[in-house]
Structure 1
Amino acid sequence: MGLVQIEIPSPSKRQSSRFEVFFALGFRPLYLLCAIWAVISIAIWIFAPSYLMGQMNNVWWHAHEMLWGFVASIAVAFLLTASATWTGSNPLKSWPLASLCGLWLIARIAYLIPGNIPFFIAGVSDVAFFLYAAWALAKVLLKAKSKQNYPLAIALIGLGLANASYLITVYIGRFDLLRTGFAIGMLVMSYIALLIGRRVIPFFAQRGAGLDIPRSEKSGRYQLWIAIVAVACLIVGLEEVTGIALIALGIITLYQLYTWKPLGVCKVPLLWVLYIAYAFLGIGFIISSLYFLPLQLGIPPATFVHFVGMGGFSVMIIGMMTRTALGHTGRPLKASKLMVVAYVCVILATVIRLVAIFVPFATPLLHIAATLWIIAFGAYVYQYGPYLTKPRADGRPG
């Protein structure tokens, strides 16, 4: 019988520092920073708007920070983390990752400071954040020849360029063009959300609920090409074609959700929150089409922005931030009671915010929606802050 070799840890082995742990993978610092910002930015927007003294006025600051400062930045965190799994190479860690987070933080602070110089610093830092992340992602994807994921690096570049366009429009005072710039950013982000959601939700459902469901690869290809067409048509001013593309996008998205057996995930919070987010996206795309088609229905633009951005992106984000953080920190894949409350709070906040668009007594509803949102992401910071700043619970590296 052979001898079993038992490795005794050497006393000289150095434990990873808190800095090395925190900046080991993109999700750790960016999930935490973005969740904190989700709380602070909404608190400022609803309860302390007097602090908004920067170049962007109240509405356009709020729109910008929700899309690029929060939603798109979470997408960066997810892609930097997922690509390490896809390729076996970590795109950014240690000081390079800390530098990326520094760019993000400089932008968030500088946008609040009056004057052209802080606005310029914020804009350069913000755009550099997305382009730096795109470069890091592209580098590992190209090295691994992960061709199916090349579009994600291009999409991050698209987010950076859309951001730059939005900021330039603010700087030159062309507020009449801001809605188009923002809509382009929303559609680029929709492309990323659909690509990620269509890939991971069936996978998570298969593992978490034992469901045998299709990966929707064929419809997914149609879906992504239609999203690209929608973006291109909006850029060149073909808004009617964009509207038609959004209807098709919504129908495909809802059909995919139907084939994923939604009733089979009702008892698994980590899954039903993602299914609800995907439903918001599908319905939101159809509602969004009404904004671009010449139907004169008088639906406010805030409807599609909050249906897709709050119900689709943000509900998916809180589901993804919990599920992926549990997996990557070596913890059981089960949502805590606190996180289930957080899921419900974000969904209720979305519904109340949408109702507030159409009623005359909107202010109390806005306060309720903001409070629910703050509770939800504050709960995430409270529970997941220690997870994200400490080594993996199972003792594995990473």
Structure 2
Amino acid sequence: MTIPLTVRDHISAAPHRSLFLAGALQGVLTLLWWVFDLTGRYALMGSATVWSIAPTWAHAFLMVYGFFPFFIFGFLFTTYPNWMNGDKVKTSEYMATCCLMAIGVVLFYAGLLTHKVILIMGVEFMLAGWGVAVYVLFRILLGTAPAQDKRHARVISAALLMGWLGMAAYLLWLVTESPAALDFARHAGIWFFLLPIVLTVSHRMIPFFSSRVLDNYVLIRPYWMLWLMLACIGAHGCLQSLDMPAYLWIVDFPLAGCAFYLSYRWGFLRSFRVSLLAVLHVSFAWLGVAMTLYAVQSLVYMLSGSMLLGLAPLHALAIGYFASMILAMASRVTLGHSGRPLELDHITWILFLSFQAATVLRILADIVPMIAPILYVAAGLAWLCCFVFWAAKYAPIYWRQRVDGKPG
């Protein structure tokens, strides 16, 4: 007699299910909170709310450490064993990561409304969940045969450790109010954690996926260029930490040039023949755009002392590259690991293109400061609408059986 599986069984059947589900919900909640704060702060609707910490730093934490990691761990728990022919991640391990981080996020929101002590407890739970994930992934990295190609995995593992340290620094800031701790958390989250991981995954997966669907495709994956780009990223992070924005262009122009070169060689234009592939290429193209904006702003600052573009480069990177790539990769993984055809339907394609509008609107907010508050809210609403519809479409897949009846 076959015992029917419950929703809980389905959610815990594979690493990506619980973590992607939590990430999808967080993608909605964090922008819902942020839009609420913006509309009150700029008197567009209601009045400003008093939070237990500055909303800007809460927003930065929720995005960098409270949103992206759910998708990153869901992806890595699935791919690490495949990349290195290692043991599968145990159900107890990936569920512990998800539950601890999810509890932490809930406490973080509660602490924003009530007291910083509760918020601190939330970050501690998230650190614990992150620690479980880092331990598991390092165990796979170090426990598999040396003959396996571990170049990508080594970079990603080091970046995960830097992310954990960045979150620990944020916790230290909450406890001590040390500006140095907050600065490290901010810069480490972007330049030593997120960008190295998303770039390295792009370097491994985009040419691979392209070779599977494009005819006569030559797989190009230059490692020397990856090392150069990672060096530029590290240098950028160090220069920002040292408050030396006038010299960022020295590393940002080469980084942008490499990104544009790879985008071209990986077949940006050809990718539009297959929409599921095109979303990855469009997302990656934002890296070149973002680093060009960073480089131009740095050069202008060196010559005039003016930060011409404000936070536009940061949001081109964070929304255009990071968030778009998360949306693209999560869609692909969800389809592939639910037994569905690897085809992006028209609705998801429209959602992805609409999501690009959120990036453009947020960039324009720093370029056209006269209407910046309206553009802030418009960008937030664009993100929110896209993620609500994406979550409504994909989240139910995580608590249902695969359509092909296979386990996982």
Q: TM-score, normalised by structure 2?
A: 0.86
SS at match of 2:401: coil
- Matched letter for residue 125 of structure 1: F
Alpha carbons 1:131, 1:156 under 8 Å: kept: no
Residue 294 of structure 2 corresponds to 288
Instruction: Give distance in 2, aligned partners of 1:335 and 1:232.
Output: 39
Q: Which residue does 1:77 correspond to in 2?
A: 74
Distance in structure 1 (CA, Å) of the matches to 2:173 and 2:203: 33
Spell out, residue by residue over 1:108-148, the C-alpha distance to the aligned partner (whole angstroms, 9 max, x if none). Answer: 12222232321221121122222221111111222223432
Give the aligned partner of residue 339 of structure 1: 348
Gapped regions of structure 1 (runs ≥ 5): 1-10
- The match for 1:383 is 393
- C-alpha deviation, 1:161, in angstroms: 0.4
102-111 or 233-242, which deviates more = 233-242
1:201 is matched with: 206
Aligned residues: CA RMSD: 2.5
C-alpha displacement of 1:292: 5.6
Tell me the secondary structure at the aligned position of residue 92 of structure 2. helix
> Which of 95, 98, 103 is residue 95 of structure 2 equivalent to?
98
Q: Does 1:28 align with 2:17?
A: yes
Which residue of structure 1 lines up, in the alignment, with residue 164 of structure 2?
160
Match of 1:244 in 2: 250
1:211 to partner: Cα distance: 5.2
| Alpha-carbon separation, structure 1, partners of 2:134 and 2:308 | 35
In 2, Cα distance between the equivalents of 1:43 and 1:263? 35
Residues in 1 aligned to 2:228 and 2:338: alpha-carbon distance in whole angstroms: 35
Q: 1:86 aligns with which of 83, 88, 91?
A: 83
Q: Is the CA contact 2:166–2:184 (under 8 Å) kept in the aligned structure 1?
A: no
Looking at structure 1, the residues matched to 245 and 57 of structure 2 have their Cα atoms a distance apart, in angstroms, of 22
Give the superposition deviation at 1:64: 1.1
Distance of aligned partners of 1:369 and 1:242 in 2 relative to their CA distance in 1, 3 Å threshold: closer
- The number of equivalent residue pairs is 387
Residue identity matched to 2:391: V
User: For 1:143-185, what per-residue CA distance to the aligned partner results, in whole angstroms no more than 9, with x for missing partners?
Assistant: 2234322222221111110122133224433457645531221
Tell me whether 197-206 or 295-304 shows the greater mean CA deviation: 295-304
Q: Distance in 1 between matches of 2:71 and 2:18?
A: 10
Aligned partner of 1:215 among 197, 217, 220: 220
Q: Report Cα offsets for 1:24-48 as digits up to 9, x if no partner.
A: 3321111111111111111111125
Q: 1:198 Cα deviation (Å)?
A: 1.2
Question: What is the DSSP-based 3-state SS (H/G/I as helix, E as strand, rest coil) of the residue aligned with 2:343?
Answer: coil
The Cα of 1:227 is off from its aligned counterpart by: 2.8
2:197 to 183, 192, 197: 192
User: Partner of 2:115 in structure 1?
Assistant: 115
Taking the TM superposition and a 5 Å limit, the aligned residue runs for 1:1-398 are: 11=1, 14=3, 16-48=5-37, 54-89=51-86, 92-112=89-109, 113=111, 114-145=114-145, 146=148, 147-148=150-151, 149-175=153-179, 178-179=182-183, 181-188=185-192, 189-210=194-215, 212-218=217-223, 219-232=225-238, 234=240, 243-289=249-295, 294-295=301-302, 296-359=305-368, 360-398=370-408
Match of 1:8 in 2: none
Cα 1:109/1:356, change in 2 over 3 Å: same
SS at structure 2 position matched to 1:281: helix
Task: Please identify, of 220-229 and 192-201, the stretch whose mean Cα deviation from structure 2 is larger.
Answer: 220-229
Flag structure 2 segments of 5+ consecutive residues without an equivalent.
41-47
Whole-Å Cα distance in 2 between the matches of residues 280 and 162 of structure 1? 24
Partner residue, 1:6: none
The answer as to whether partners of 2:101 and 2:126 remain within 8 angstroms in 1 is yes
TM superposition shift of 1:58: 1.1
Alignment CA distance shift 1:250-1:137 (3 Å): same
